[in-house]
Amino acid sequence: MLQWKIQSGINPIGGRTIDGKIVASEEGHKNASLTSSTNDSNSHSANPIDREKIASLPTSTNFPSSILIHNEKGKLLDGLLVSGFDEASCISRVQSRSFRKASPHKPSRYLISKLRDYEELHGKCGPNTRAYKKNIKDLQSKKITGAAMCKYIVWDPSNGLGNQMISIVSTFLYAILTERVLLVRFGRDLNGLFCEPFLNSTWELPKNTPFWNERRVETYQTMLKKDKANSISKEPLPSTLFLNLQHTLNDPEKFFHCDHNQDLLRNIPLLILQSDQYFVPSLFMNPSFNLEINKMFPEKDTIFHHLARYLFHPSNEAWGLISRFYRTYLAEADERIGLQIRVFSPNNTPEQAIMDLVLNCTISNNLLPELDTKNSVSYTQNKTLKAVLVASLYPEYGESLRAMYLNKPSVSGELIGVFQPSHEEKQKFHDNMHNMKAWTEIYLLSLSDVLVTTSLSTFGYVAQGLGGLKPWLLYKLISNDTHFPACERDFSFEPCNHIPPKHYCNGKTIKDYASSFPVLRGCIDYSIGVKLVTDSTT
């Protein structure tokens, strides 16, 4: 199992304890970094997580039934999750509720019923079932006749972890809407990050499937060309179709949301979908999908929040990293501030320009206090601790912030602790350890009370969605310039769909989303993108 280890020779961004609280300290812990270790196991005794919290609820008849019901509802996120899982196999499913405040956003009864229906479908048609084996065999031999009993959608990874997670949620919602079984093609880089989300089944596409690396199947774009030429009705529908909905493709792919195109896809047994986008907003543009989504999600800006909390539970390995770091550095703080700094053009953007942006944002909006430049010692009785979690590929931002509050007291007398779990220097693709670090930091950010993220970062999108947090969005600097304001509070914690459809289904260009789709608004951090809001949002 992986551990957080304190290593020497790494720039210090750690802390020491004052009155039981961890604060910035030059003599304190060095930067906690993620390294592999073989002295941990999956046993509870090897994991520094309280074993008693894993235990099931008391069953004594003397235990008040009202408390049992309340605890069970909280444990299952108000019915979002289903009971029956082996708790030891996924400790985070049980313990995570004690690490964050209860969400004020409750899942609708209709969403809960749709999730239970999906779980039943997955149990009947998922891997290792008789139906799955028969369907895969028939698909391989192309002997599908009539409507298949089970239909599938295989999610294919693209881009970094943030992009992958927002596209998995999108694909899962599409699977629910179209009554398909979601299967994910996890390579080695995603192994061991998440628990299985579905009871008594797996969502992972078996590696021995003939479609694991299949790219010779017909594409959605080819099918659209045939349809446009009126030749599709003369040929049988393909049994397998590859859909590429990545952000780099042209307009024909963006008609995916249209009724006619969905009719073409409805009877194709196996879809292989690749996307790096949160394409949920485009599903709202389809009238039939729109009705169902409205019933499932009365609060439109909670779609990712509910579905991500349903799907993504840190594995025991990841949860060990998350829980140990949280308890060591963040648990005793009066307020936790998540600060995610993404540098898009590191060669052209000076470090000081980024730091100026961060400080202008956090201090001007009273997220962090100003420094007392007149006194070197603070005589205030204020012992409030703010813990700042810095998530960045680069160590200098955490170091600079920590040094600033170490060298001078704050005018408010607040104690500021700054902690940066890792600094990889560059984004690494197809790297399991890199993804494990990213996942732990995303989850830790989601446990914040206040969140500051960088515009356009899908890493930040996942954190804000999991935590139900409307972040302060840092302006995206790409050179040595300044911007005012340095950041702006977002109006929704839904991810932004960076490349939404550009046309209505009749081919007419969409000029104003809000006038045609009241639940969509332009993104603050990307003007051509759209994101979901509730109907009452102004």
Same domain, 351 and 438: yes
Same domain, 287 and 361: no
Tell me how far apart the alpha carbons of residues 282 and 497 are, in angstroms, rounded to a whole number: 9
Place of tokens 């940066």: 420
Asked if residue 96 is part of any domain, the answer here is no
Same domain, 342 and 483: yes
Write the pLDDT tens digit of every residue in 220-249: 777 777 766 665 555 677 888 888 888 664
Q: What is the pLDDT of residue 186?
A: 94
Tell me how far apart the alpha carbons of residues 166 and 182 are, in angstroms, rounded to a whole number: 15
Same domain, 350 and 277: no
Same domain, 285 and 319: no
Same domain, 239 and 330: no
Same domain, 133 and 267: yes
Q: What is the pTM of this model?
A: 0.85
Write the pLDDT tens digit of every residue in 47-59: 322 323 333 333 3
* Structure token pair of residue 403: 């040094």
The rounded Cα 172 to chain-centroid distance in angstroms is 13
Give 244's strand partners.
Answer: 274
Q: At what angle do helices 287-296 and 161-178 cross, to 10 degrees?
A: 100
Asked if residue 89 is part of any domain, the answer here is no
Domain of 428, in residue numbers: 2-37+315-489
Same domain, 276 and 329: no
Closest CA to 239 of 139, 156, 141, 148: 139
Asked if residue 535 is part of any domain, the answer here is no
Helix-, strand-, coil-residue percentages of the chain, each rounded to 5 = 40, 15, 45
Beta strands in 209-346 (DSSP E): 218-219, 240-244, 270-274, 335-341
Q: What is the pLDDT of residue 254?
A: 58
Contact partners, residue 453, CB within 8 Å, separation at least 6: 338, 340, 342, 445, 459, 460, 461, 463, 464, 471, 472, 473, 474
Asked if residue 439 is part of any domain, the answer here is yes
Give the CB-side neighbour count of residue 87, counting CA atoms within 13 A.
Answer: 14
Asked if residue 333 is part of any domain, the answer here is yes
Same domain, 266 and 332: no
Same domain, 231 and 374: no
Per DSSP, the residues of 296-363 read H-SSGGGHHHHHHHHH--B-HHHHHHHHHHIIIIITT-SEEEEEEE--S-TTTS-HHHHHHHHHHHHH
Asked if residue 46 is part of any domain, the answer here is no
Write the pLDDT tens digit of every residue in 321-343: 999 999 999 999 999 999 999 99
Beta strands in 297-375 (DSSP E): 335-341
Tell me how far apart the alpha carbons of residues 267 and 241 are, in angstroms, rounded to a whole number: 11
Tell me how far apart the alpha carbons of residues 271 and 222 are, in angstroms, rounded to a whole number: 14
Closest CA to 186 of 212, 216, 151: 212
Q: What is the pLDDT of residue 220?
A: 77
**∠430-435-440 over CA atoms, to 5°?**
175
Asked if residue 523 is part of any domain, the answer here is no
Asked if residues 202 and 126 have their Cβ atoms less than 8 Å apart, the reply is yes
Asked if residues 15 and 329 have their Cβ atoms less than 8 Å apart, the reply is yes
Q: How many domains does the structure of the chain reveal?
A: 2
What's the Rg (C-alpha) of the chain?
24
Per DSSP, the residues of 361-424 read HHHHTTSSPPB-SS-SS-------EEEEEEEES-HHHHHHHHHHHHHS-BTT--EEEEE-----
Q: What is the pLDDT of residue 33?
A: 46
Same domain, 281 and 137: yes
* Structure token pair of residue 41: 């196991």
Q: What is the pLDDT of residue 379?
A: 65
- Number of Cβ within 10 Å of residue 213's Cβ equals 10
Asked if residues 111 and 307 have their Cβ atoms less than 8 Å apart, the reply is no
Which residues of the chain are under the pLDDT cut of 70? 1-74, 142-148, 214-216, 227-235, 247-254, 376-379, 425, 535-538
Asked if residue 78 is part of any domain, the answer here is no
Same domain, 127 and 195: yes
Asked if residues 185 and 205 have their Cβ atoms less than 8 Å apart, the reply is yes
Q: What is the pLDDT of residue 73?
A: 61
Torsion angles phi and psi, residue 101, rounded to 5? -70, 150
Helix ranges (H only) for 126-246 are 130-141, 161-178, 220-228
Closest CA to 321 of 458, 500, 462, 444: 444
